[in-house]
Amino acid sequence: MTRPRVVIAGAGFAGLTCARALKNAPVDVLLLDRNNYHLFTPLLYQVASAVLDPGEIARPVRQLIRPLHNADFLLANVTGVDFEQRQLLTDHRPLAYDYLVLASGSQSDYFGNASLVQHAFGLKNLDEGLAVRNRILMRFEEARWTDDRERRRTLLTFAVVGGGPTGVEMSGALAELTRLVLSKDYRDLDFDLVRVVLLEAAGWLLGTFAAPLREAARLSLEKKGVEVLLKAKVADVTESSILLADGHEIPASTVIWTAGVRASDVGSYLGQPLGRQARVQVLPTLQVDGHPEVFVIGDLAGPGPINSEGGPLPMLIPVAMQEGRHVAATIKDVLRGYGATNFLYKDPGIMATIGRNSAVAQLGPVRLTGFLGWLMWLFVHLINVISFRSRIVVLVNWAWDYLFYDRPIRLILRAADEKATRPK
Ligand SMILES: Cc1cc2nc3c(=O)[nH]c(=O)nc-3n(C[C@H](O)[C@H](O)[C@H](O)COP(=O)(O)OP(=O)(O)OC[C@H]3O[C@@H](n4cnc5c(N)ncnc54)[C@H](O)[C@@H]3O)c2cc1C
C-alpha cells in the first residue's frame, strides 16, 4: 500500500524540523531546496567577518536527513503550486503531494530602491556572506594602492544599514576585525581612516528589546569604535557614497543592507492573500484557507499564528522550529482521524551579541548585558550549531580568535568575487 507523501519546500529551520518530526510517521517525506545545504543563519555574520568558514555553519541536507529512513531530498527551485492537481511546481517537473508544507523562508527587502539592489550587499545566504568577506578584504588591499587620502577613507568606510540583531552583530564584528586583526596586517595604513558606521532609521537600536538593553547595545558598539547613527534613513546608495533622506552624504564604498526583510517569492506564486512583509496569511492551524492539506510555516507564514500578546509572530528560528513540529504533529493527527489544532508559540527569549565580551539577552523576566549576556549567547549558539563536528570546530575558532586576536580565514576567494546573485 502506498503511503501518503508529504512534500516539504525548503530545508531551513522550519522545513528540516518538520521532516525530522515526521521520522516515525507512516508517510514518505520529500524535502526540496534550491541549495543543497541547511544554513545556521545566526552565525552568518561570522562568515562575513572572517571568523568562521562556510562549512562550519552549513551542512548538506542529504547528510542531515540520512537518519530519516522515510525521507528523501531533491535540489530544485520551487516555482508554484497547482492546488487543484495537488502538485508542487518546480524548475524540473511537478511533484505530486498528499500534504504540502511550504517553508521557503524570507529574503532581503530593498523596498524597490534600485540603488540598493545594485550597490548594497544583503546578508541572507552563504553566497552573500562570502561576498561581504571578499569585499571587506578587497577594500583593504585596494586602499594600500592609493595615495589619495579621501579615496582611502571612502574605501575603508564600511556602512551597515539596519539596527536589528543582524546589523548590530555585523557592525560589532566588523569593528573588531578591522581594529584588532587587520590593523596588524596593514601596518602602513592609517587606521584613523577606517570607519564602521551603523545606520538605523528609528531612534534606537534593537527595537524588539527592552529599552535598557537597546541602550546597552548602543554603548557597547560605540566602545568598540562603531559610529552609531540613529534616525538615519538611507535614500540612495552609489558606488562610493550613501545619501541619507535628510540630505547628509557619507562617503562609503561598502554598504551592507540588513534593514529590510520580506517573505520568499514562493508566497506570491500561491494566489493567496499576503500580509505584512509579503507573508502568506494562514489560518491559526498554519493551514492555507480552503486547502487543509497545505501548510505554510516559518518566515513565509503570517499573520495567522499569533503570539501570547496577540501580534504576528517574528521571523525567528524558535518560531520556525515550533511551527515545523506543530505541522508534523497535525499531519500525524489527521492521519489518525483527528482535526488540526491551533499553533501557540512559546517564546524562549531573544539575544544579540556585540563582538567579544558583550551581548544583550532578554529571556522572559531575565535581562542580561555585557559579559554575562555574552556567555549566555556563546552557550546557546554553541549547543544549537548544526552538528557535533561543527561545535568542536566553531569552539576552536572562537577560542583562537579570542586568545590571539586572529582570524585565519582572511581569504579573498575569486569565485565569490562578484556581488552574489540575489535569491529569486
Ligand atoms: C544573518 C541572519 C541572522 C539571523 N540570526 C537569527 C538569530 O540569531 N536567532 C533567530 O531566532 N533567528 C535569526 N535569524 C532569522 C532566522 O534565520 C529565520 O527566522 C529562520 O531561518 C526561518 O526559518 P525558515 O525555515 O522559515 O527559513 P530558512 O531557514 O531561511 O529556510 C528557507 C529555505 O528555503 C529555501 N528556499 C527559498 N526559496 C526557495 C525556492 N524558491 N525553492 C526552493 N527552496 C527555496 C532556502 O534555500 C532555505 O534553505 C537570522 C537570519 C539571518 C538572515
pLDDT at 287: 96
Among protein residues, the one with the nearest Cα to ligand 1's atom 12 is 316
Give the cell for residue 254.
Answer: 561598502
Atom of ligand 1 nearest to the CA of 45: 1
- CB of 12 closer than 6 A to ligand 1? yes
Atom of ligand 1 nearest to the CA of 319: 19
pLDDT at 312: 76
Among protein residues, the one with the nearest Cα to ligand 1's atom 31 is 12
Q: Which of 71, 60, 74 is nearest to 23 (CA)?
A: 71
pLDDT at 395: 85
Q: Which of 137, 156, 108 is nearest to 49 (CA)?
A: 137
Cα(311) to centroid(ligand 1), Å: 21
pLDDT at 303: 65
Atom of ligand 1 nearest to the CA of 301: 26
Rounded to whole angstroms, the Cα distance separating 299 from 186 reads 41
pTM for the complete prediction? 0.94
At 308-330, the pLDDT tens digits run: 556 679 999 999 999 999 999 99
- CB of 33 closer than 6 A to ligand 1? yes
pLDDT at 307: 54
Rounded to whole angstroms, the Cα distance separating 121 from 254 reads 8
Q: Of 56, 84, 128, 169, which residue is the catalytic one?
A: 169
169 is catalytic: yes
- CB of 123 closer than 6 A to ligand 1? yes
DSSP H or E run through 6: strand 5-9
Q: Which residue has the cell 511546481?
A: 89
DSSP H or E run through 196: strand 195-199
- CB of 120 closer than 6 A to ligand 1? no
pLDDT at 174: 97
Q: Which of 239, 173, 226 is nearest to 200 (CA)?
A: 226
Q: Which residue among 316, 319, 346, 384 is best mutated to probe the pocket of ligand 1, counting the most ligand atoms within 8 A of its Cβ?
A: 316
Show the domains of the chain with their CATH numbers: 5-34+76-108+262-335 (3.50.50.60), 114-258+356-416 (3.50.50.100)
pLDDT at 322: 97
Cα(15) to centroid(ligand 1), Å: 10
Residue 251: strand pairing partners: 241
Among protein residues, the one with the nearest Cα to ligand 1's atom 52 is 41
- CB of 90 closer than 6 A to ligand 1? no
Q: Which residue among 31, 33, 41 is best mutated to probe the pocket of ligand 1, counting the most ligand atoms within 8 A of its Cβ?
A: 41
Among protein residues, the one with the nearest Cα to ligand 1's atom 51 is 41
- CB of 298 closer than 6 A to ligand 1? yes
Cα(17) to centroid(ligand 1), Å: 12
Low-confidence residues of the chain: pLDDT under 50: 416-417, 421-424
Among protein residues, the one with the nearest Cα to ligand 1's atom 37 is 104
pLDDT at 379: 87
- CB of 78 closer than 6 A to ligand 1? yes
pLDDT at 409: 83
Rounded to whole angstroms, the Cα distance separating 282 from 276 reads 12
At 404-422, the pLDDT tens digits run: 888 778 889 876 445 554 4
